[in-house]
Amino acid sequence: MTRGAIEVRISSPEDADAVSKVLLRSYGTLYRGWYRDDVLEKALPVMTRANPVLLSSGRYFVGLVDGAIIGCGGWSAQRPTGGVVPRLAHLRHFATDPDHLNHGCGGAIAGRCFDEAIACGFSEMEVISSLTAEAFYARHGFQQVAIVRQPMGGVEFACVLMRKRLERNE
């Protein structure tokens, strides 16, 4: 199957349904086998809802192929768990449709996040990664800091806190 070029653009609130669909397809497919079914049953409805604050932040992006949204992700100064640490940015709510994995969408969005965070004066970035996505983030220079548990839908969701230095020309 021939695929068009990946376009990355800033998201808008109108992207909410398409982003939620990508989140559900991605997490609902890729997390199977990494997390117990009873954990996913409770966590997926919460984590697969597009975040309206992120969508309208100007720092959240969608990846498109032939006009269809196939990936999403962004960054913020605020930690997903709350609070701000000076010069530390945070990757947020990344996903790629399973039919489009390993074609560069996630990397393109991550690169845009790194560039923008550097331009805004941030020197480090962290992400609270699912167990499934740890290898993706490691390929982009993140290193494991700790195993953490995030409350999600009434269950504790195992994650990996990862961090990297931000440098120009990544």
What is the tens place of the pLDDT at every residue in 40-70?
999 999 999 999 999 999 999 999 999 999 9
Report CA 156 to chain centroid distance, whole Å.
19
Q: Could you tell me the CATH number of the domain that includes residue 32? A: 3.40.630.30
Residue 47 lies in a domain: yes
Could you give the residue ranges of the DSSP H alpha helices within the chain? 16-30, 37-47, 52-55, 105-119, 134-139
Residue 141 lies in a domain: no
- pLDDT of residue 2 exceeding 80, the answer is no
**What number of H helices and E strands is found in the chain?**
5, 7
pLDDT of residue 76: 97
Reported pTM: 0.93
Q: What is the sign, positive or negative, of the torsion defined by CA atoms of 153, 90, 148, 160?
A: positive
- The overall average pLDDT reported for the chain is 94
Residue 154 lies in a domain: no
Coil, helix or strand for 119? helix
| 93's tokens | 């709510």
Residue 73 lies in a domain: yes
pLDDT of residue 3: 65
State the CB neighbour count (10 A cutoff) for residue 61. 25
Residue 143 lies in a domain: no
- pLDDT of residue 170 exceeding 60, the answer is no
Instruction: Give bridge partners of residue 157 from the DSSP assignment.
Output: 150
pLDDT of residue 97: 96
Residue 51 lies in a domain: yes
Q: Which domain holds residue 27?
A: 6-126
Instruction: Give bridge partners of residue 7 from the DSSP assignment.
Output: 64
98 vs 82: which has the higher pLDDT: 98
- pLDDT tens figures, 117-138: 999 999 999 999 999 999 999 9
Q: Which of 100, 79, 112 is nearest to 9 (CA)?
A: 112
Residue 167 lies in a domain: no
Structural domain count, the chain: 1
pLDDT of residue 80: 87
- pLDDT of residue 31 exceeding 60, the answer is yes
pLDDT of residue 43: 96
